[in-house]
């Protein structure tokens, strides 16, 4: 087993075929990346998070294209979330199970 085999994304996993499953997760705002105020919510501990709408997705997600509307200002957490990593696969699998 090589390290490369475990860190490379599986070829069939791509955001292009995913309905932005990871954009339903809670996203904490840890650094200021310029997220517009109207997309920011406070959690019960008073910490800033990305607001989510009633459908569960992040308020900054375009519901038609499933793309981020604030990509250049997206939070640090979103920048660190890597396509094909463990968390990505877990979210894709969770939605398939619920479907
Ligand atoms: S990072 Fe993963 S879960 Fe998020 S949109 Fe891309 S494929 Fe889907
Ligand atoms: S800020 Fe953009 S990338 Fe991050 S959860 Fe919202 S829509 Fe997805």
Domain total in the chain: 1
3 in any annotated domain: no
User: What does the pLDDT average to over 86-91?
Assistant: 92
The reply to whether ligand 2 has any atom less than 6 angstroms from the CB of 35 is no
4 in any annotated domain: no
Report d(CA 30, CA 76) in Å as an integer.
Answer: 7
2 in any annotated domain: no
Structural domain range at position 81: 11-98
H or E element: which one contains 77? helix 76-80
1 in any annotated domain: no
48 in any annotated domain: yes
Residue 3: what pLDDT? 45
6 in any annotated domain: no
Find the ligand nearest to 76 CA. 2
Q: Which residues line ligand 1 (CB under 6 A)?
A: 13, 15, 18, 20-22, 81, 83, 88, 91-92
Atom number of ligand 2 nearest to Cα 35: 1
User: In the beta sheet, which residues pair with residue 47?
Assistant: none
Q: For 2-55, how does the pLDDT look when each residue is reduced to its tens digit (9 = 90+)? A: 445 555 555 578 998 888 999 999 999 999 999 999 999 999 999 999 999 999
């Amino acid at each position: 087993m090589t390290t490369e085999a475990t860190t490379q994304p599986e070829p069939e996993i791509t955001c292009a075929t995913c309905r932005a499953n990871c954009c339903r997760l809670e996203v904490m705002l840890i650094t200021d990346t310029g997220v517009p105020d109207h997309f920011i919510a406070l959690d019960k501990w008073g910490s800033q998070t990305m607001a989510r709408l009633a459908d569960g997705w992040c308020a900054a997600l375009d519901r038609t294209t499933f793309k981020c509307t604030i990509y250049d200002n997206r939070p640090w957490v979103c920048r660190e979330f890597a396509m094909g990593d463990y968390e990505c696969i877990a979210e894709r699998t969770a939605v398939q199970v619920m479907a």
